[in-house]
Amino acid sequence: MSPFLVTRTLPEDATDAALRADVLMGLTSTPKTLPPKWFYDAQGSELFEKITELPEYYPTRAEREILVGRAGEIAAATGARTLVELGSGSSEKTRYVIDALTGLHTYVPVDVSESALTQAGQALIGERPELDVHALIADFTGGLVLPDTPGPRLVAFLGGTLGNLLPAERAAFLASVRALLSPGDALLLGTDLVKEERVLVEAYDDAAGVTAAFNKNVLTVINRELGADFDPGAFEHVALWDTDNEWIEMRLRSRTAQTVKVPALDLAVHFAAGEEMRTEVSAKFRRDGVRAELSAAGLEPAHWWTDGGGRFALSLSVAR
Ligand SMILES: C[S@@+](CC[C@H](N)C(=O)[O-])C[C@H]1O[C@@H](n2cnc3c(N)ncnc32)[C@H](O)[C@@H]1O
């Protein structure tokens, strides 16, 4: 059996402090916002997996189609011995790359969700006995320190998660990814593409209401962790397409005028009837924009692959 290590790179109270700081800042801003990373407790990670199976949610199927077709090319181009995956979740699609990388020594899944990392790691170790799996419970936006493992290194960032960062955050994030790489190492990046508004909005507002439950889960997390008294039923899920920014925005709209208490922050927050709080952006990309952002971070775009429907892109870029 291969080794399976789980390392928490931040002390537990650092996560608490980060949640407190984000909630305080977000709920006292105008308009109110909450960052998407707090969706993902065990329940949130499970809800996200259900989203990936919804008929309306095409990105996972489209990205899987590309990975199935291109995993051999990715392996040949990178020859990676260490695969680091940021925001790895279930690692389900990553299997195609792991299987193609015959010389792979260590897989390093990185996620804020401990439950997702544990489940994914345990599933993997039985299948690849020669592979070391070193999971990191960590925030990929905050000074990631990777274990010392053999190169070449391939960093994968799949699922379109890059789109959850705002443009300035994306630039800082890509620069930090570049700093994890040596010349010749590579980044495999999944980006959802701009397309018809109806298709985009339905992907984030499914008929079964799974995305609505996922969106409201952030309120449940804040209730549990900070003793707040959010009533998720008093908020409505909203998904809209912002044409100027080319991103989907998920919001929670207060159904009535209400005051929510957050005792751990000594805070009472008033919501007007109809007031909307942003909980996620999901930017959609065009090829030129992705190339420009990668180049600005010191990454040389080498391959661009899309699914047959042209809905989603996977790019491979190399550290200069
Ligand atoms: C949209 S899901 C994508 C999951 C998977 N990569 C896929 O393609 O299906 C985003 C994943 O990133 C994780 N995540 C979100 N923000 C994070 C952060 N700041 N640091 C580390 N992980 C994060 C979530 O827990 C979740 O597993």
- Strand bridging mode 82-86 / 153-157: parallel
CA of 256 to the centre of ligand 1 (A): 32
CA of 84 to the centre of ligand 1 (A): 13
State residue 11's pLDDT score: 59
pLDDT band for position 169 (cuts 50, 70, 90): very high
pLDDT band for position 6 (cuts 50, 70, 90): confident
Report pLDDT digits (tens) over 147-166.
999 999 999 999 999 999 99
Locate the ligand 1 atom nearest the alpha carbon of residue 160 and give its number.
1
Please give the C-alpha separations between residue 251 and each of 50, 71, 72, 79, in angstroms, as whole numbers: 20, 36, 39, 42
For the segment 168-172, the average pLDDT, to the nearest whole number, is: 98
H/E/C letters for each residue in 99-161? Answer: HHCCCCCEEEEEECCHHHHHHHHHHHHHHCCCCEEEEEECCCCCCCCCCCCCCCEEEEECCCH
State residue 12's pLDDT score: 65
Q: Is the pLDDT of residue 202 over 60?
A: yes
Q: Is the pLDDT of residue 2 over 70?
A: no
Q: Is the pLDDT of residue 13 over 70?
A: no
Q: Is the pLDDT of residue 1 over 60?
A: no
- Chain-centroid distance of CA 268 in Å reads 30
CA of 273 to the centre of ligand 1 (A): 32
Among protein residues, the one with the nearest Cα to ligand 1's atom 3 is 159
CA of 226 to the centre of ligand 1 (A): 22
For the segment 115-124, the average pLDDT, to the nearest whole number, is: 93
Locate the ligand 1 atom nearest the alpha carbon of residue 35 and give its number.
16
For the segment 233-259, the average pLDDT, to the nearest whole number, is: 98
Q: Choose the residue to mutate in 34, 58, 111, 307 for probing ligand 1, maximizing ligand atoms within 8 Å of C-beta.
A: 111
Residue entry with tokens 């699609």: 93
For the segment 111-122, the average pLDDT, to the nearest whole number, is: 94
Report pLDDT digits (tens) over 51-86.
999 999 999 999 999 999 999 999 999 999 999 999
- Strand bridging mode 299-306 / 276-283: unpaired
Neighbours of 302 (CB within 10 A): 14
- Chain-centroid distance of CA 10 in Å reads 18
What DSSP designation does 28 have? T
For the segment 126-145, the average pLDDT, to the nearest whole number, is: 91
For the segment 276-298, the average pLDDT, to the nearest whole number, is: 98
Percent of the chain beyond pLDDT 70?
98
For the segment 74-102, the average pLDDT, to the nearest whole number, is: 98
pLDDT band for position 10 (cuts 50, 70, 90): low
Locate the ligand 1 atom nearest the alpha carbon of residue 159 and give its number.
8
Among protein residues, the one with the nearest Cα to ligand 1's atom 6 is 88
CA of 158 to the centre of ligand 1 (A): 9
CA of 52 to the centre of ligand 1 (A): 13
Higher pLDDT, 35 or 13: 35
For the segment 42-49, the average pLDDT, to the nearest whole number, is: 97
**Taking CB atoms and a 6 Å cutoff, what residues make up the pocket around ligand 1?**
37, 40, 45, 48, 52, 60, 87-89, 93, 110-113, 116, 139-141, 158-159, 161
